Structure 1
């Protein structure tokens, strides 16, 4: 009996897989921190003999090469991918035997030109398909990550690939994508956690709409993606051959933290947004490790910038370090843990947190600027009348457009608002962070408009 174990990375919205027959195992699309995969294999009592990549990833650095080197597994990558390392190239129609399991290679271009999916079968027949960034739950992988000049070709390839999977695989086959759990690599998001080919045939727009209708809908709905993606393709074409070093960097003292801040380096406070708002070292910025930490830090921080981490505990810093290595940030200036008063001799800074109800009351009494830091595709359908929209990832580049005076900063749920508020406070703005769900805004009497 074949078992499939998903290995989730919620902060990046991705999922890797280990499948085994009780003795040997294969792994699909492993993340950089391969110790998690090794732990699953040890728990299941199996030996990893094969590693498969569906594509050269855009949103994280692969751990496939390092995992194969550590376990002696065969590393399968599309034979047409231009990579700098030894691997066993596979192409459409190849069948790879792994113990009592078999893996059939299916060319499914669309997310990339060389994207592959892998149909998994056991004694009981076809079990599922590892669909990477092709067929995702309720959607597909986005077709625009290789540049505008390739988008038109890729979106039509994506449609054809999804149709192929639906026509060639049985309805009961599980759909096992890498993206689609919050990753910006997915064209749209779904709340589903599992699915089958049959379910997707009934519900996935790529399988229920005409090609022209679906293409128009997908292209119209594509939003921006994190700029750090540009560094992932080259990193994966020269994939790391060893597991990452997850040892905590050197501890820094008050003087070193002050020197980093004075030099304009990045000093990131990992604590949750409530703790940060109550008291923090001036000019530090807040990227709480309790949210999509690596996604937003990688999006906003200049690539290669010097980075120091401040956290409640060594465990919190270790969690952040693990997140960072997944996107290729493996060298830090240093770290410190404890309470913020231990990191500076200066008075701690703070700012207010509020709700949309508070904002509604304040607007009756005085003029304030509402700064909406959601993406443009979120702002357009519904926003507070009079709000200024500067998406979080544009805040630093558009500081000269941010109005002076009292800024009430909000997003969809509070996490991005705290990041933006910290960036603006460090630049000298008077901020109030709205820590509330945007769904509550309409109930407060705030006027919402579209357009």
Structure 2
């Protein structure tokens, strides 16, 4: 009898898996912080005999090499992946015996990458689950545009063929267990739910319901922005990631925080946007720990730039540090926790910024002429509708385009408030007067604002 444990990483939108028999197990697409995979195996009382990668990942640093080293497991990597470390290369049709009557079979599924490989888990000769990585996802497929622009079209067609190969090879009841697609930018679009089956995808996934030309046209038209840090993930994984160090970083007192800010380093406040707005160290940026911290900080932070973290508690700092190593931000330069008033030197004060709703924005616009509305959503979101006479700079571009923001008090909005507070903090740090619109964009029109939408143009 087999069991599959799912390890969820909502900040990155990914899952990893541990498939176990009575005595031994295989870990599929493990995270860089491998201790939790080891702990999952310990809870099951099994030995990790194999570690399997579906592909060289573009969105996070893999823990596969380290997990194999720690456990003595064989490290299964697609043979077509150009890597710089010893591994067991796997090709289409290769099998390994995970445990008695439990077999893992490799199935070539190019599309997300040229070498992408899915793994079918067979229990007593019957396929029971498929680990599909970035191939067939929940209501979607993995993006084909992350490897090389010249390959995007051919990889999109390969995704269609690979989806059909999976569907043709597997019964409807087989569990489909993808790595991407739970909020990951590696997914072509976001599906619904945490679990699916081959049958459910056969009925509703456009890779299986549309012909190849219609599917490719839709897929390529829907591709969104690629986080900048992705450019560093593939090379790091191909070279062989180093083990992580999760020991606490150097403590930062008020003087050290001031010195790091003066040196032009990033000091990041991890508190909720309400707390940040009420009082924060001047010059700091707000990336909420509860949001997609790893994705957005790694996307905006100049690669390799030192970062100091501020949080309410040491536990919050430890959680953030763990999230950041998954995207290659290995060691914070320093960190501080506790009362924010201790983060400034004697005689200095915390600063604050405004928070408001879209209704407040509508009132302010009616009463004043110095209100600037800045939309920091992605281009694709902007195309679905926008506040009339608003400026638009996606949050991932804002740090390099601060000079383009019009004069006046800047009311920053996104879809819900998370990215708005990032953008507002970037502007606040350079002395602009800012207000965070901490509200859902869906309600902007009901709040009294004119919203231009495609249907009304």
- Normalised by the length of structure 2, the TM-score is 0.97
Query: For the residues of structure 2 that align with 1:28 and 1:296, how far apart are their CA atoms?
Result: 25
Whether the 8 Å CA contact 1:63–1:239 is kept in 2: the answer is: no
Q: 1:374 matched to which residue of 2?
A: 377
Whether the 8 Å CA contact 2:19–2:27 is kept in 1: the answer is: yes
Q: 2:3 matched to which residue of 1?
A: 3
Q: 2:145 matched to which residue of 1?
A: 144
Deviation at 1:412? 0.8
Whether the 8 Å CA contact 1:180–1:189 is kept in 2: the answer is: yes
Secondary structure of 1:419's aligned partner: helix
Runs of 4 or more above 3 Å deviation: none
Whether the 8 Å CA contact 2:321–2:331 is kept in 1: the answer is: no
When residues 360 and 124 of structure 1 are mapped into structure 2, their CA distance, relative to the original with a 3 A threshold, is farther
User: Which whole-Å deviations, capped at 9, do the CAs of 1:139-177 have from their partners, x for residues lacking one?
Assistant: 000000113211111111111111111111111111100
Deviates more, 1:287-296 or 1:330-339: 330-339
Deviates more, 1:382-391 or 1:413-422: 382-391
1:417-436 matches, cutoff 5 A: 417-436=420-439
1:243-254 matches, cutoff 5 A: 244-254=244-254
Deviation at 1:356? 1.2
1:100-119 matches, cutoff 5 A: 100=100, 101-119=102-120
Q: Extract unaligned runs of 5+ from structure 1.
A: none
Whether the 8 Å CA contact 1:27–1:50 is kept in 2: the answer is: yes
Query: For the residues of structure 2 that align with 1:204 and 1:302, how far apart are their CA atoms?
Result: 37
Deviation at 1:22? 2.4
Q: 2:339 matched to which residue of 1?
A: 339
Query: For the residues of structure 1 that align with 2:310 and 2:85, how far apart are their CA atoms?
Result: 37
1:168-247 matches, cutoff 5 A: 168-240=169-241, 242=243, 244-247=244-247
Whether the 8 Å CA contact 1:24–1:49 is kept in 2: the answer is: yes
Query: For the residues of structure 2 that align with 1:97 and 1:24, how far apart are their CA atoms?
Result: 10
Whether the 8 Å CA contact 2:75–2:87 is kept in 1: the answer is: yes
Deviates more, 1:253-262 or 1:276-285: 253-262
Q: 2:366 matched to which residue of 1?
A: 364
Secondary structure of 2:115's aligned partner: coil
1:71-86 matches, cutoff 5 A: 71-86=71-86
Q: 1:296 matched to which residue of 2?
A: 296
1:276-315 matches, cutoff 5 A: 276-315=276-315
Query: For the residues of structure 1 that align with 2:407 and 2:17, how far apart are their CA atoms?
Result: 49
Q: Does 1:36 align with 2:36?
A: yes
Secondary structure of 2:401's aligned partner: helix
Whether the 8 Å CA contact 1:228–1:299 is kept in 2: the answer is: yes
Query: For the residues of structure 2 that align with 1:386 and 1:423, how far apart are their CA atoms?
Result: 22
Query: For the residues of structure 1 that align with 2:26 and 2:173, how far apart are their CA atoms?
Result: 21
Query: For the residues of structure 1 that align with 2:397 and 2:407, how far apart are their CA atoms?
Result: 17
Query: For the residues of structure 2 that align with 1:395 and 1:10, how far apart are their CA atoms?
Result: 25
Deviates more, 1:129-138 or 1:323-332: 323-332
Q: Aligned to 2:351, which of 343, 349, 352?
A: 349
Deviation at 1:124? 6.8
* Count of residue pairs brought into register by the alignment: 450
Q: 1:61 matched to which residue of 2?
A: 61
Deviation at 1:450? 2.8
Query: For the residues of structure 2 that align with 1:205 and 1:384, how far apart are their CA atoms?
Result: 32
Q: 1:154 matched to which residue of 2?
A: 155
- Normalised by the length of structure 1, the TM-score is 0.98
Q: Does 1:409 align with 2:402?
A: no
Q: Does 1:398 align with 2:405?
A: no
Query: For the residues of structure 1 that align with 2:410 and 2:211, how far apart are their CA atoms?
Result: 46
Deviates more, 1:111-120 or 1:206-215: 206-215
Query: For the residues of structure 2 that align with 1:202 and 1:158, how far apart are their CA atoms?
Result: 17
Secondary structure of 2:26's aligned partner: strand
User: Which whole-Å deviations, capped at 9, do the CAs of 1:355-388 have from their partners, x for residues lacking one?
Assistant: 1121122222113111110000001111111111
Secondary structure of 1:359's aligned partner: helix
User: Which whole-Å deviations, capped at 9, do the CAs of 1:319-356 have from their partners, x for residues lacking one?
Assistant: 11001110111122111111211011211111011111
Query: For the residues of structure 2 that align with 1:220 and 1:177, how far apart are their CA atoms?
Result: 23
Deviation at 1:445? 2.2
Secondary structure of 1:141's aligned partner: coil
Secondary structure of 2:445's aligned partner: helix
Deviation at 1:121? 0.8
Whether the 8 Å CA contact 1:202–1:208 is kept in 2: the answer is: yes
Whether the 8 Å CA contact 2:245–2:331 is kept in 1: the answer is: no
The root-mean-square deviation of aligned C-alpha atoms, in Å, is: 1.0
Query: For the residues of structure 2 that align with 1:158 and 1:208, how far apart are their CA atoms?
Result: 13
